[in-house]
Amino acid sequence: MRITRVLSGALLALGPVLGLALGPAAAPAAADSTPSASPSDDSSAPTEAGTSFRTATEIDQGQTATASGSAGDYLYWSFPADSGQRPTVKATVKLPETHTTQTWQVDVYDGLRRRQACQYGAQTRTAGQGTASVELACVLRTVRAWSEPWADDPLPGTYYVRLTALDLKAADLGLPVSTELRVDSKDIGGAAAVDGSLAKPLVPGIAVTSQAEEDDADDSSATAVLSSIEPDDGWASGWWSDRWVWTAIGAVLAALAGIGGYTLTRGSGRPRHVPPGA
């Protein structure tokens, strides 16, 4: 009974701490089941694509961008991805009624223009004769807040999507095609957290902009950024994750275990009866 009273008192005393710890932890758990970026109004989604990295059309996560082009063209889009996100790129190519066998491929590059491998998904697909459309998908690895210089890990910043047909036959070159592209992300949370963060996200031109702002804040002509998109809630600082919450919960449980172990090993604490004259 004494042990039960001690543990009950400890739980009551630590109840507010557990409440504060479990409260923030519930939010990442709920976020794991839904896309990290709220769907945007598709009426404002872009209706064209760029033809190179520098002219890539900027899109937000959750938007369905469309574009018309010709078979053989390179189509480019760009989108922002922050630490803890696992982006999924989906592309649909609608083909003309008459065409030969075509192979389409979607590639994703980071802000340093390093090609990022797809964790899974149909990155390359072949459409046979008479096929009306072909669907492609690329699920990237989780974006890390920091990485070793020699590593090829995805890092926060701008990502580029390139969609094109491979080894087209001469009869199909120039045939009109229409495309749809959508990017969504899943928040992975503390499971992908690392110690450290980038000084700046990998956004083309951001370092030049920061230096120009320090040199002359009034010179707006020198502060152009090649990519102006960023997450709706801004770039994450990189130091906070729900890993801190679970660490705090573990510390509380360890403290409870210590209190229980001490109570079990110290005994009742009452002195034994000593006979008179002993």
- Cβ atoms of 193 and 244 closer than 8 Å: no
**Co-location of 127 and 70 in the same domain:** yes
pLDDT at 170 over 70: yes
| CATH assignment at residue 56 | 2.60.120
Q: What is the predicted pLDDT for the residue at 104?
A: 97
**Co-location of 81 and 144 in the same domain:** yes
pLDDT digits (tens, 9 = 90+) for 35-54: 444 444 567 889 999 999 99
User: Would you call 9 helix, strand, or coil by DSSP?
Assistant: helix
Q: Which comes out higher in pLDDT, residue 163 or 18?
A: 163
CA distance 60 to 82: 12
Q: How confident is the model at residue 175 (pLDDT cuts 50, 70, 90)?
A: very high
CA distance 266 to 214: 64
Closest to 102 measured CA to CA, from 29, 164, 194: 164
Q: Is 110 within a domain?
A: yes
CA distance 141 to 153: 8
CA distance 171 to 165: 13
- Please state whether 28 falls in left (phi above 0), alpha (psi between -120 and 50) or beta: alpha
The residues near 104 (Cβ < 8 Å, ≥ 6 apart) are 93, 124, 125, 126, 127, 134, 136, 163, 164, 165, 166
Q: Which H or E element spans position 254?
A: helix 243-266
Domain with 116, as residue range(s), is 35-188
Q: Is 124 within a domain?
A: yes
**Co-location of 24 and 55 in the same domain:** no
Residue type, 1: M
Q: What is the predicted pLDDT for the residue at 198?
A: 79
Q: Which comes out higher in pLDDT, residue 245 or 203?
A: 203
Closest to 265 measured CA to CA, from 1, 12, 7, 3: 3
Q: Is 69 within a domain?
A: yes
pTM of the predicted structure, to 2 decimals: 0.70
Q: How confident is the model at residue 148 (pLDDT cuts 50, 70, 90)?
A: confident
Give the gyration radius of the chain's Cα atoms: 28
Q: Is 246 within a domain?
A: yes
Q: Which comes out higher in pLDDT, residue 103 or 244?
A: 103
Q: Is 170 within a domain?
A: yes
**Co-location of 72 and 7 in the same domain:** no
pLDDT digits (tens, 9 = 90+) for 63-73: 999 999 999 99
pLDDT at 203 over 50: yes
End-to-end CA distance of the chain: 33
Q: Is 25 within a domain?
A: yes
**Co-location of 22 and 43 in the same domain:** no
**Co-location of 57 and 76 in the same domain:** yes
Please give the tally of structural domains in the chain.
Answer: 2
Q: How confident is the model at residue 185 (pLDDT cuts 50, 70, 90)?
A: very high
Q: Which comes out higher in pLDDT, residue 238 or 94?
A: 94
Q: What are the φ/ψ torsions at residue 248 (nearest 5 degrees)?
A: -65, -40
Q: What is the predicted pLDDT for the residue at 60?
A: 94
**Co-location of 250 and 132 in the same domain:** no
Q: What is the predicted pLDDT for the residue at 24?
A: 44
Residue type, 60: D
Q: What is the predicted pLDDT for the residue at 193?
A: 67
- Cβ atoms of 225 and 205 closer than 8 Å: yes
**Co-location of 134 and 167 in the same domain:** yes
Tell me what the pLDDT averaged over the chain comes to.
Answer: 78
